[in-house]
Chain A
Amino acid sequence: MSERRDEFLSDEDLDLENLSTEELEAYWRLWLTQAQGTNDVDQASYSHGVFDRDPAVSE
């Protein structure tokens, strides 16, 4: 039996290591395309930097 270890990310995430460059590129592109579906929801928000919300975007 293999030794148990603390887990942080999903198997799906960790499997990125095994993808070829072409497969990673295709998966990344697909993910970015699908993630566009939430553009309206996160129009005002920020994922990096020191600002949290665009005050010009109404709730």
Chain B
Amino acid sequence: MDNPYIRLTQEFNDGRLRAILASGQAVVLYRLAIMSKDGDWILREEAETLAHVIATLARHGARYRYGAPLDLRWLAHGWSSHLEFQEGGLRLRCDFVTRPPRVSPGALLALWEAPVYKEVPVVSLPVLAEIKKTNREKDYAVIGELARKMEDPRLQALHSRSARDLMRLFAEQPAVVAEASGERPLLSRIGQGREEIERLLDEERRALMRKNEDRLDRYLGAARRWGADWPRLSKELSGRPLAEAHEMMVARAAELLPCEP
């Protein structure tokens, strides 16, 4: 497929699996919606991967945006790195994490051991649903449709955003829903009717959104000194080859950006 984010994913994975396409572009590959002009990837948390990704992006003339350096010390604590470049009239933004939010260590390991391929490696449906539990309303609509694509009824029970779908699932597979209720409390109240399930779904969504806001606030607070210095540093990085800019980023971040938020 002639798409810049597909091609980049192939370049990141040249020779071995290093990068899994996530979020908005993965939603396209699952043929659900086209809703993001940026690309984001989950990277393998190892030095060779980061060196390969930096070298690949350097060939495209990429520059760092404000963010953490592509360095294990920060990525291993959930920070994100952001780069961009221009190509063929498009502004291509590349966002990276090694620890996507809300994804358990076991689920993360499974991504690397049994990757899903949709032309290129993409996150699995349940992991994509977890990543989409953001503080944006529109992401919950995507989760609703993602759940309908899941074949395993337990996963449907854990991720569905539809009261009607959950009631049908409960009627067809009560034992599966009962078992999943340990992980998702609202499932234990399906018998209370559609209106109550809808209320609980709304309540659950709002709680997830607040939780994500709290998580982001922690990072934004920890990045205060880094953000204050960034306008100056970004000028110093301007025009430099990416490898050199990366070294400068790491050196300055070591002074100003705590690895643990």
Contact = CB atoms under 8 A, between A and B. Distances in A.
B114 interface: no
- Is the interface on chain A under 10, 10 to 19, 20 to 34, or 35 or more residues? 20 to 34
Contacts of B40: 47-49
Contacts, number: 118
Interface residues of B, number: 51
Interface in A9-40: 9, 13-14, 16-17, 19, 21, 24-25, 27-29, 31-33, 35-36, 39
B90 A5 contact: no
Task: Give chain B's interface secondary structure class.
Answer: mixed
A13 B3 CA distance: 18
30 contacts: A5-B162, A8-B162, A9-B144, A13-B32, A16-B28, A16-B33, A16-B34, A24-B28, A24-B31, A25-B1, A27-B34, A31-B37, A32-B4, A36-B89, A36-B91, A47-B38, A47-B95, A48-B22, A48-B24, A48-B40, A48-B80, A48-B97, A49-B82, A50-B78, A50-B215, A50-B216, A50-B219, A50-B220, A54-B230, A56-B234
Interface of B: 1-4, 22-24, 28, 31-34, 36-38, 40, 65-67, 78-82, 89-91, 93, 95, 97, 141-142, 144-145, 161-165, 215-216, 219-220, 223, 227-228, 230-231, 234-235, 261
